[in-house]
Amino acid sequence: MKSYLAAAVQMNSVPDLRQNLEQAEDLIDLAVRQGAELIGLPENFSFLGDEEAKVAQADVIGPKSEQFLKTMAQRFQVTLLGGGFPVPAGDGKVYNTALLVDPSGQELARYAKVHLFDVDLPDGNIYYESQLVVPGDQQAPVYQSENLGVLGLSVCYDVRFPELYRSLTHRGANVLFVPAAFTAFTGKDHWQILLQARAIENTSYVIAPAQTGFHNSRRQSHGHALIVDPWGGILADAGEKPGVAIAAIEPSRLAQVRRQMPCLQHRFFV
């Protein structure tokens, strides 16, 4: 593992595939021009709005999203994570799928989100992801990169389930991806503190791409794409507008924190 710059992209995706992919390309280009070698796009990067419309168009959105990720990774010579897009699962449902691609455009890891967001929020918004999404049946994957560390994948609501991240670190992960479209209502209270908790308890870097702003008349995301260091410090915060959060991933810092706080060696329950 070497020292390198990572980027967590922040988008305001809408119910328009072409417009979203153009926005994503511009932000990937911005991150690359600032030196990023590992870039993450948020959940629903290619389509965010009416869920029924997304599922109805999944046979188009899914393949185009996947091809976009492979093309961008190859064009910009970066390792790229697409944090969530719909892949048809049959019976009118989809998998919420994250895909990690290398600079040659080859797939490195794929993850179908396992924890589905079925919540009635006090602000009046109702989210029942399971009505249209099939949960994945495989554990979240890790990918061992020679230069970038051991990358662990997750998606959004997963961040509330610490056992998933303990499993990732048990299998060697030291850089954890949490691409999200966190709601504005929950995000203001929970987003940052949950990401810091996952970083601290696993003594790992956390890269959290995010959605921001309004996506339709009701749905609003929190923003604040973050990169968190293994001690829990906020290294970069994209704020509330589309953009990128960029920070250095330092193997020496990772080793220092794990040496000072060797809790991964002290686990009793595995």
220-243: pLDDT as tens digits: 999 999 999 999 999 999 999 999
Per DSSP, the residues of 218-257 read: S-EEE---EEE-TTS-EEEE-TTSSEEEEEEE-HHHHHHH
Of the given ranges (81-95, 112-126, 256-270), which has the lowest mean pLDDT? 112-126
Contact 201, 193 (CB under 8 A): no
Q: Is the pTM of this model over 0.75?
A: yes
From first CA to last CA, the distance across the chain in angstroms is: 26
Q: What per-residue confidence (pLDDT) applies to 216? A: 83
List, by residue number, the catalytic residues: 43, 113, 156
Q: Hey, where are the domains in the chain?
A: 4-265
Residue 86's nearest CA partner among 66, 106, 62 is: 62
* Structure-token match 């080859």, residue found: 106
Would you place residue 134 in the very low, low, confident or very high pLDDT band (cuts 50, 70, 90)? very high
Of the given ranges (200-209, 218-227, 238-247), which has the lowest mean pLDDT? 218-227
Please determine, for residue 217, whether its predicted confidence score (pLDDT) is greater than 80: no
Contact 10, 245 (CB under 8 A): yes
Q: What per-residue confidence (pLDDT) applies to 126? A: 80
Pick the CATH number of 4-265 from 3.30.2130.10, 3.60.110.10, 3.30.70.20, 3.40.1360.10: 3.60.110.10
Please determine, for residue 270, whether its predicted confidence score (pLDDT) is greater than 80: no
Over range 199-212, report the average pLDDT.
98
Average pLDDT, whole number, for the chain?
A: 96
Contact 175, 249 (CB under 8 A): yes
Q: What per-residue confidence (pLDDT) applies to 124? A: 73
Q: What per-residue confidence (pLDDT) applies to 219? A: 86
Would you place residue 50 in the very low, low, confident or very high pLDDT band (cuts 50, 70, 90)? confident
